[in-house]
Amino acid sequence: MKSTVLKFGGTSVETIEKIEQIAKQIKDNFSEEKLFVVVSAMGNTTDRIEGAIKNAKEKLENPEDVYREFELAYQHHTNTHIQNFRDSIYQSFHNTLRKVAEGNKADVDRLHVTGERLSALLFHTVLNNYGIDSQFIDFWNPSFPLAVEGSFSNATLNLSKSMTRAKKLKNSPPHVTVFPGYGGMDGNFVKTLGRGGSDTAAFGYAYAFGADSIIIGTDVDGLKSANVESAEIVKEVDIKEASAIAFLGAKFPSDVALTPLEAMYDKGLNPYVCVANSQNLLETGTRIVKETSDRRPVKVIAGRNIATYVLEGDLSTLVSDLYKSGIDWFSYGLNRRFLRLGISERTSEDAERKIEEYRKNRKLKICEYDRDVAIVGMVGCGMKYQTGVGKRASSALTEAGINILTFYDPSDVSIGMMIERGERDKAINVLYNEFIR
């Protein structure tokens, strides 16, 4: 029997109606496949959990406010199993927050995955209501297969151990197995997988089960060539392009998430991979392939806001600490004395606190700091075979009055440029008109 991993992000499962539409598709279109479903927390639950953790020293949030999407969905499904599970999450919520306020990292990760656990149980219940044979496997279930290792909040997959654990589930009933996303187990501890953790988990399950297909369900019809109204959906990108696209800020699986897919390619496996609209899984989407026949020099244009630092001092220790903390960073210049860092807007506050700790302890000096920066760029495997792409891009931006602060190329299939933050959207439009329109 063919096997497929389906992953659904928070906006894909933010209402009971969206979950029911997915259930209908599973019943109508996937009856002949073994399914492994990975579910993110409903809606913006994760953001509110992070807010509750940050504010834990000042006040303790009410669980009904944090899990509000689940509260609405719960009104439709009130069986005893869901009620008991919900009550167990809510009863431990304040106690866990108190421990988090004391700095217990294990409890931070345990709290972080509560939204995924609630979503997964609800998803499983909806499937059963539609007559679909389903089981929900929580993190502490002895059958839970996804093994991780390393730091709390930024663990890495142990693919070999995950594959060994998955053998018992691979060919056994039922038709559908639902897992909470975002994390895995290291012994008795749940550890989260950092930025894009549910995508990383989905590809980890795909490796573990040797899946034939991986479908990432989102709230859009696929990857647009740019964040421009007239832009069309890109039908296919290769794995290198996909990593560069995510780096430049598009909502797409990151290089970390795609690592298990690369490992599958190395084993001679070549699964079907697609990022599609969760409400229309088989009629929409952008495929991720090992090698693409679409050799256009510029296929996608994207950009994101960043902060930049020039630092001097204890650099190697800082870089290790940033990584362990799950902070999204990249280096765009390094010598014996100085390190130039780019930090994503999403994790800039955490980075600022970490770097300030080092400065106060006199381990490093902040030579420059700028939070009004963006990086924009172009991705296409064909640019390796065509000269002048970078020159055309810089000329187009210069003619539009956009100052290029410096260049940063994420890979050999991309060209990136740092500019002033307020010029980001204008730059994307300029590059789109130059290369794609």
* Residues 342 and 199 occupy one common structural domain: no
Give the count of beta carbons closer than 10 Å to the beta carbon of residue 419: 20
| pLDDT surpassing 80 at residue 165 | yes
Residue 114 in any domain: the answer is yes
Q: Give the domain extent around 341.
A: 300-435
* Residues 182 and 321 occupy one common structural domain: no
| pLDDT surpassing 90 at residue 155 | yes
* Residues 305 and 180 occupy one common structural domain: no
Residue 257 in any domain: the answer is no
* Residues 90 and 191 occupy one common structural domain: yes
Q: Which two tokens stand for residue 52?
A: 């509750």
Closest CA to 310 of 364, 232, 374: 364
Query: What pTM was computed for the model?
Result: 0.95
Last residue of a domain, one of 170, 204, 219: 219
Reported as a single tens digit per residue, the pLDDT across 167-197 is 989 888 899 999 999 999 999 999 999 989 9
- 67 touches 143 (CB < 8 A): no
Residue 242 in any domain: the answer is no
C-alpha 24/C-alpha 72 separation (Å) is 20
Banded pLDDT at 78 (limits 50, 70, 90):
low
Last residue of a domain, one of 194, 219, 244: 219
* Residues 306 and 211 occupy one common structural domain: no
Residue 357 in any domain: the answer is yes
Residue 268 in any domain: the answer is no
Reported as a single tens digit per residue, the pLDDT across 294-342 is 999 999 999 999 999 999 987 888 888 888 888 899 999 877 778 999 9
Give me the CATH number covering residue 202: 3.40.1160.10
Residue 263 in any domain: the answer is no
Residue 347 in any domain: the answer is yes
| pLDDT surpassing 90 at residue 208 | yes
Residue owning tokens 């362990």: 324
* Residues 189 and 321 occupy one common structural domain: no
How many domains does the chain fold into?
Answer: 2
3-state DSSP assignment of residue 173: coil
Least confident of 101-110, 145-154, 194-203, 207-216: 101-110
- 63 touches 118 (CB < 8 A): no
Last residue of a domain, one of 169, 199, 219: 219
Give me the CATH number covering residue 382: 3.30.2130.10
Q: Which two tokens stand for residue 116?
A: 């995924």
Residue 87 in any domain: the answer is yes
* Residues 209 and 346 occupy one common structural domain: no
C-alpha 374/C-alpha 227 separation (Å) is 15
- 16 touches 72 (CB < 8 A): yes
